[in-house]
Amino acid sequence: MPRAWPSTAATAGAIVAPALAVTALPGAVTDALIYQREAILDGELWRTLTAHWVHLDTTHLLINMAGLAAVVLVLGRFLSPVRLLLATALGGIAVSLGLFLLAPQLDWYVGLSGVVSGIWAAAALHGSLRRDWLGFAAIALLAAKLAWEQVQGAPVSLTEEMSDAVIVDAHLYGMLGGLLAVPLARLWRTAD
């Protein structure tokens, strides 16, 4: 394990902690945190950030946490804490901005899966820039997953588990935000 891995794992825990905390909040509070297009148009801009930590139910939360854990366990050697936080922030912003600009018909959105795609993309790109075979493999797998989702939609097994459809475009937008994290992280010497 690289020296930065324990702090990267701790940072991943800090990313998950708000999602866990939100589950304990009353419904009226979580309703004020979700991405809701009309509310954002009315000036409630915080929803573009907080929506990623709200989940439909425990199953949705566990799926997103498992995805983040898998990315950090497999690709964590390519993620410094700074790179992880940048990928999280830029992935979340890209998801919300993409949905707002490119999916005006979408009334609401919740979940961390788009952000997880951004973290995956940032780690895979950094690994491939280091000419590591795992980085190349992770990019290929992510590209295949996103292409499949764009053509076929989310796997039926996932959508059956959750009461609402998975918004696969969030994964695509999150990936784009995650890719931006790599050059920005390189601006800070501490990230590499």
Provide the residue ranges of all domains of the chain, joining segments of one domain with +: 5-191
Pairing verdict, β 35-36 and 108-109:
antiparallel
Torsion of CA 34, 40, 43, 45, to 10 degrees: 60
What pLDDT, on the 0 to 100 scale, is given for residue 163?
42
Average pLDDT, the chain: 89
What pLDDT, on the 0 to 100 scale, is given for residue 9?
81
**Spatial separation of the C-alpha atoms in residues 142 and 164, rounded to whole Å:** 23
**Spatial separation of the C-alpha atoms in residues 123 and 55, rounded to whole Å:** 24
User: Can you identify the CATH homologous superfamily of domain 5-191?
Assistant: Rhomboid-like (1.20.1540.10)
What pLDDT, on the 0 to 100 scale, is given for residue 159?
52
What pLDDT, on the 0 to 100 scale, is given for residue 192?
46
Cβ atoms of 124 and 143 within 8 Å: the answer is no
Tokens of 151: 């053509």
What pLDDT, on the 0 to 100 scale, is given for residue 10?
85
Tokens of 87: 């990928």
132-160 pLDDT per residue, tens: 999 999 999 999 999 999 998 776 655 55
**Spatial separation of the C-alpha atoms in residues 159 and 164, rounded to whole Å:** 7
Q: Which amino acid is at 86?
A: L
100-121 pLDDT per residue, tens: 999 999 999 999 999 999 999 9
SS3 sequence of 131-155: CCHHHHHHHHHHHHHHHHHHHHCCC
Residues of the chain with pLDDT under 50: 1, 163, 190-192
Report the chain's terminal Cα–Cα distance, integer Å.
16
What pLDDT, on the 0 to 100 scale, is given for residue 152?
84
